[in-house]
């Protein structure tokens, strides 16, 4: 009789202690409507005895040694479940994982597969937490283990010609068949650390990496790109930029062999816990062009918190190995005073939401330093016809007339750029085109009336089309692409 979940497990020269953990975990699941198909990749009586000891109705199939993909393909021939999980025999599933999978599949008929993070038997190793589902990112780098369930109709044939990275090829094929992924929080199983002979570790050496990576890319028509973006402090921005300029995204671009000629890093922090990691992104002694975009938070950190010795050492290093950019003239001035050689080029941005009309009722998003909060409380009371959000529970840009932006360091940040490229209005102590500038150094008795008049002058206006067109050009990816092609 068909079962709900089919576990297909290849077994090759197993560590019997680890195999016992796996078998016991499969047998001990809280969800009971499952079957297991164990494919011995070459005869192994000890493994078969171990399996039958705990799972008397297990299907055990023996094939001539042909590799894990061949074993999985053979096992799938014997599977009856509408959900199939190609689990590894050196891993142990969490007791309630399969029940959670079934519940999610039943509640979400549009998804094709489920995945999550996982842990290691070696507790000193940090758990792997995976990524939110993004088909584009999956075509850059695999972030899904083979040990997760997929609906039967999306199961492709495992490619037996690949010597490694078969799991990446598998999930790419699932997505190409129309399978949509759903990421669960938490960790679904525990696994052994990969070794040169293990299922997960076979062939994944630095010497073989590039050829095997590109073999998978060729199968799926994935471009071999020469530019890679990284951002350990603003990862979402890094991925967004990589998509915009058709680059790869990797946290550590130079960790494995590659063909990159340019590495673009967004953000650089001097905080002790991350400074060394940020520095490691750049290949100091490699023939790679390094580009660094300092964010508004980075400039503020440099200005306020970094010691003289660190400034001197890191400015000398980065001035030597990287082309550095900041968002505006004030940021360039601040960084220059601290020894960094920067040029002004805003990080590219595109308006992904389209041109939206202004909201019916005037609404402004407040991004204001705490030391000005009492002044802005008075301003709010002076403009009862408008609503003001202080960032908590902030809505989408289309829900706002504009942004009130007052910060200690008057420099451009991402919120300002997103507002301006969407044709919204800005009132700020930052001097940039099409922003309503107010000098915060003036006395409160003149500051408040000027501010109120500027805001009231915005209310009732249509989309700021001149600003939108200006920033659409100023923030165009073509500016950065021009640098990359030089």
Q: State the pLDDT at residue 132.
A: 95
Say whether pLDDT at 85 is over 70. Answer: yes
Which residues are CB-contacts of 48 (< 8 A; sequence separation ≥ 6)? Answer: 38, 40, 60, 62
Whether 100 is in a domain gets the answer yes
Cα–Cα distance measured from residue 211 to residue 199, given in angstroms and rounded to the nearest whole number: 19
- Across the range 460-483, mean pLDDT stands at 92
CA distances from 373 to 212, 391, 394, 404 (A): 57, 13, 17, 12
Domain-ending residue, one of 218, 233, 250 = 218
Same domain, 114 and 189: yes
Same domain, 80 and 149: yes
**In this structure, what CATH number is given to the domain that contains residue 160?**
3.90.550.10
Burial pattern 268-307, b for ≥16 Cβ within 10 A else e, equals bbbeeeeeeebbebbbeeeebbbbbbbbbbbbbbbbeebe
CA distances from 120 to 125, 126, 168, 171, 194 (A): 6, 8, 20, 22, 10
Q: Domain limits at 449?
A: 363-472
Same domain, 231 and 372: no
Cα–Cα distance measured from residue 271 to residue 269, given in angstroms and rounded to the nearest whole number: 6
Planar angle of CA 91, 97, 98, nearest 5 degrees:
100
Cα–Cα distance measured from residue 40 to residue 18, given in angstroms and rounded to the nearest whole number: 15
Write the pLDDT tens digit of every residue in 317-371: 899 999 999 999 999 999 999 999 999 999 999 988 788 999 999 999 988 887 7
- Across the range 301-310, mean pLDDT stands at 81
CA distances from 451 to 98, 347, 361, 408, 411 (A): 59, 29, 19, 17, 19
What pTM does this model have? 0.88
Whether 353 is in a domain gets the answer no
- Across the range 263-268, mean pLDDT stands at 94
Whether 247 is in a domain gets the answer yes
Domain-ending residue, one of 190, 218, 246 = 218
- Across the range 360-385, mean pLDDT stands at 83
In terms of DSSP bridges, do strands 425-428 and 435-437 run parallel, antiparallel, or are they unpaired? parallel
Whether 421 is in a domain gets the answer yes
Write the pLDDT tens digit of every residue in 387-404: 888 766 667 889 999 999
Domain-ending residue, one of 169, 189, 218 = 218
Same domain, 254 and 321: yes
Whether 462 is in a domain gets the answer yes
Cα–Cα distance measured from residue 165 to residue 203, given in angstroms and rounded to the nearest whole number: 8
The answer to which of 24-33, 314-323, 385-394, 421-430 has the lowest mean pLDDT is 385-394
Same domain, 295 and 368: no
Q: State the pLDDT at residue 484.
A: 87
Percentages helix, strand, coil for the chain (3-state, rounded to 5) are 40, 20, 40
Count of structural domains, the chain:
3
Same domain, 179 and 61: yes
pLDDT band at residue 440 using 50, 70 and 90 as cut-offs: confident
Same domain, 291 and 315: yes
Q: Which residues pair with 248 in a beta bridge?
A: 228
Name which of 49, 77, 51, 50 is nearest 63 in CA terms. 77
Whether 481 is in a domain gets the answer no
**In this structure, what CATH number is given to the domain that contains residue 425?**
3.40.50
Compute the mean pLDDT over every residue in the chain, rounded to the nearest whole number. Answer: 91
Structure-token pair, residue 407: 């910060």
Whether 483 is in a domain gets the answer no
Lay out the sheet containing 322-326: strands in order across: 248-249, 227-230, 262-266, 289-293, 322-326, 342-344
Same domain, 295 and 378: no
pLDDT band at residue 104 using 50, 70 and 90 as cut-offs: very high
The answer to which of 256-270, 296-310, 415-429 has the lowest mean pLDDT is 296-310
Neighbours of 371 (CB within 10 A): 9
Same domain, 110 and 212: yes
pLDDT band at residue 198 using 50, 70 and 90 as cut-offs: low
No. of helices (H) and no. of strands (E), the chain = 17, 19
Same domain, 78 and 192: yes
Same domain, 96 and 161: yes
Same domain, 60 and 187: yes
Whether 357 is in a domain gets the answer no
Write the pLDDT tens digit of every residue in 122-140: 988 999 999 999 999 999 9
Cβ 296 vs Cβ 413: under 8 Å? yes
Say whether pLDDT at 408 is over 90. Answer: no
């Amino acid at each position: 009789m068909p079962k709900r979940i089919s576990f297909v497990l290849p077994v090759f020269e197993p560590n019997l202690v680890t195999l016992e953990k796996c078998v016991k975990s499969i047998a001990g699941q809280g969800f009971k409507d499952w079957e297991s198909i164990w494919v011995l990749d070459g005869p192994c009586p000890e493994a078969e005895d171990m399996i039958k000891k705990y799972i008397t109705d297990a299907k055990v199939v023996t094939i001539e040694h042909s590799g894990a993909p061949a074993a999985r393909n053979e096992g799938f021939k014997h599977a009856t479940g509408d959900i199939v999980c190609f689990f590894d025999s050196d891993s142990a599933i969490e007791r309630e994982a399969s029940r959670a999978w079934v519940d999610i599949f039943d509640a979400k008929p549009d998804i094709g597969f489920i995945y999550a993070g996982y842990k290691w038997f070696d507790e000193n190793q940090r758990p792997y937490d995976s990524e939110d589902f993004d088909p584009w990112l999956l075509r850059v780098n695999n972030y899904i283990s083979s040990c997760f369930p997929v609906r039967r109709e999306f199961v492709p044939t495992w490619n037996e010609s690949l010597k490694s990275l078969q799991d990446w090829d598998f999930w790419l094929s699932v997505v190409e068949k129309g399978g949509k992924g759903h990421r669960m929080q938490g960790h679904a199983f525990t696994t052994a650390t990969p070794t040169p002979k293990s299922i997960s570790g076979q062939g994944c050496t630095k010497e073989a990496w590039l050829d095997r990576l590109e073999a998978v890319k060729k199968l799926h028509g994935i471009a071999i790109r020469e530019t890679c973006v990284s951002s350990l402090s603003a990862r979402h921005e890094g991925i967004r930029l990589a998509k915009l300029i058709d680059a790869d995204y990797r946290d550590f671009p130079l960790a494995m062999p590659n063909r990159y000629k340019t590495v673009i890093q967004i953000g650089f922090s001097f905080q002790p816990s991350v400074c060394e990691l940020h520095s490691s992104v750049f290949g100091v002694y490699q023939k790679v062009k390094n580009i660094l975009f300092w964010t508004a938070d980075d400039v503020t950190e440099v200005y306020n918190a970094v010691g003289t010795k660190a400034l001197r050492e890191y400015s000398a290093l980065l001035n030597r190995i990287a082309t550095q950019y900041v968002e505006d003239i004030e940021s360039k001035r601040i960084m220059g005073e601290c020894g960094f050689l920067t040029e002004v080029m805003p990080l590219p941005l595109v308006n992904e939401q389209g041109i939206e009309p202004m909201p019916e009722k005037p609404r402004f998003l407040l991004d204001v330093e705490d030391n000005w909060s009492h002044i802005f409380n008075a301003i709010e009371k002076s403009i009862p016809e408008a609503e003001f959000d202080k960032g908590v529970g902030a809505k989408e840009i289309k829900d706002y007339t504009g942004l009130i932006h007052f910060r200690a360091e008057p420099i451009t940040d991402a919120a300002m750029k997103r507002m301006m490229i969407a044709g919204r209005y800005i009132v700020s102590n930052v001097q940039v085109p099409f922003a309503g500038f107010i000098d915060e150094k003036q006395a409160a008795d003149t500051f408040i009336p000027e501010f109120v008049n500027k805001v009231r002058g915005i209310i009732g206006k249509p989309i700021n089309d001149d600003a939108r067109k200006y920033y659409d050009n100023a923030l165009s990816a073509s500016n950065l692409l021009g640098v990359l092609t030089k």
